[in-house]
Amino acid sequence: MEGVDLKNSSMGVHSGKLKRGLGFVDLWSIGVGALIGGGIFTVIGPAVAQAGPALFVAFIIAGLVAIMSTMSYAELASVWPYQGASYAYSKYAFAIISPHLGRLIALWCAGLYFLSFAFAAGAVNLGFAGYFHFLFPSLPPVVVAPIVSILITGILLVGIKTTGKINTFFSIIQVFSLLVIAVIAISANPSGPFQYPEFLPNGWSGVFAATALIAFGQMQVEAVLTLGEEAKNPRRNLPLAQVSSVITVVILYILTGYGVVSSTAPADLAASSAPLSLAIENVLPGAGAVLIAIAALTATGTSTIGCLLGSSRMLYAGAREKAFPSIFGNIKEKSGVPAYAVIFTGIIALGATIIAVIGYAEAINLLVSAAVFANWFMMALMNFALVIVRLKRKDLNPPFRYPFNIKNIPILAIIASIACIWILTYLEPLPLIVGISWIVLLTVWYVAYAKNRWDFLSEEEMELIANSHEE
């Protein structure tokens, strides 16, 4: 790192510094809030239609693959704890094969995340407004959803410490609410899924199809890692927060998957537009609806925060190297926030929200469907990235290491990569088409715009930048 002048190099072109305002609990809550999101409230219906009483088995499979993959993310984060997460990991890991390949895959990761979740925020805001309307019938979703989108964008502009504390408060509420819902449902009928004559009505192919769908509820698996340069003690806290938040959510999802079929017949759940509400109403009439509304409001609120945080930081990470327009790489001196990236992401989310509330939610869902593809595709890439790093970068000594290695090869990461690709084959054609279309568009963007403008920051330069941020 000696000889690199931060002030006079290209690293100094953007004013301001990020602020390291997130401790372990804040990071954990961002991970939990982004992962739970609104998915658990909508994915149960289509997933149980495929898996039947074995819904919880689909959650177990998806959870195991997510946990195995998240440990790849965690090790890479302990080596390169920088903004953009998979953007940074791809840039350095795949560059071992080819510099252009590293940059292209980095652009894919940043672009897929940004495009998927900026639009996803619109769908989540609409869900928030729906549950808000349940508690306050005088306030219609068409009014509430855009206001929520603007308010959350405003919170993000205040600063990362404020955002982290608000998110932590709501994340704790949603975890507690979902745990109570699952325990009540299971307690009413502990034998649950095993009481039905057909445990696997559609065979194992139905379980695997449900596993693919469940990605909607786990799709922001790297949300917390996109904030690497805003975390305190990042090489320790990022891996711990990443792994612990995923495990927390996987446990909640498995319990919920078991509980809903304990209280309600799978066919009724599959036919319902609000399956989780139906399940809890069957065992806790009246009060159950309020509990669901509270859980849903906090979950959708934290999911929007996760969508906008992750998307804006991905945009910022690429813009800092001019892979995207460099204006999005500016940081406001006072707040330590990449304000233009946040505002632009917020505008897209607001636009998606307005389109959804005026009756074109299906158009937004079409774009959001790429998020399911992006989730499994990016997890496969990060597992491959770790294998490449282990084989070619033996000089690295990461504080967090993927367990269960044979001759320094993370065997479970290889298995997880194969599982992610295999699960992709069970997706419906539309998410595959949309996701592949995003990749084609991003490849065109790389060739036409980013390739010759890219101001590559080396590992040494990135370490200097990361060390310059204020707490």
Cβ(318)–Cβ(107) below 8 Å: yes
- Tokens 């909508």 identify what position? 42
Residue 127 token pair: 């869900």
CB 271 within 8 A of CB 277: no
pLDDT score at 219: 57
Mean pLDDT of the chain: 85
Query: Over the stretch 122-133, which tens digit does the pLDDT of each residue have?
Result: 777 877 887 787
Q: In this structure, what are the phi and psi dihedrals at residue 159, rounded to the nearest 5 degrees? A: 155, 160
- Give 147-202 pLDDT, tens digit per residue: 999 999 999 999 898 998 998 898 888 888 888 888 888 888 888 888 888 888 88
Q: What is the pLDDT of residue 220?
A: 66
Q: Which residue has the tokens 């690497």?
A: 228
Dump pLDDT digits (tens) for 45-63.
788 888 989 989 998 988 8
What is the separation, in whole angstroms, between the first and last Cα of the chain? Answer: 22
Alpha helices in 223-338 (DSSP H): 234-263, 266-271, 275-283, 287-320
Rounded to two decimals, what is the model's pTM?
0.88
Give the 3-state secondary structure of residue 83.
strand
The DSSP letter of residue 456 is P
pLDDT at 2 over 50: no
**Average of pLDDT values for 260-268?**
87
Pairwise CA distance, residues 173 & 163, whole Å: 16
Beta strands in 309-426 (DSSP E): 405-406, 409-410
How much is the pLDDT for 360?
61
The tokens for 47 are 């997933």
CB 84 within 8 Å of CB 313: yes
Report pLDDT for 65: 84
Using CA atoms, how far apart are residues 155 and 151, in angstroms rounded to an integer? 6
Q: Is 162 helix (H, G, I), strand (E, B) or coil?
A: helix
**Residue pLDDT, tens place only, 355-390:** 877 776 566 666 666 677 887 888 899 999 999 999
382-427, pLDDT tens digit by residue?
Answer: 999 999 999 999 899 899 999 989 989 999 999 989 988 888 887 7
> What share of the chain in percent tops pLDDT 70?
91
- Taking residue 243's Cβ as centre, other Cβ atoms within 10 Å add up to 18
Residue type, 403: P
Q: Is 121 left (phi over 0), alpha (psi -120 to 50) or beta?
A: alpha
> What is the predicted pLDDT for the residue at 347?
93
Distance CA 254, CA 61 (A): 10
Q: Which residues contact residue 104 at a Cβ distance below 8 angstroms, ignoring those fewer than 6 apart?
A: 443, 446
86 and 109 Cβ atoms separated by less than 8 Å: yes
Contacts (Cβ under 8 Å, ≥6 apart) of 197: none
Predicted confidence (pLDDT) per residue in 29-48, tens digit: 988 888 776 567 667 778 88
Residue 333 pLDDT greater than 90, yes or no: no
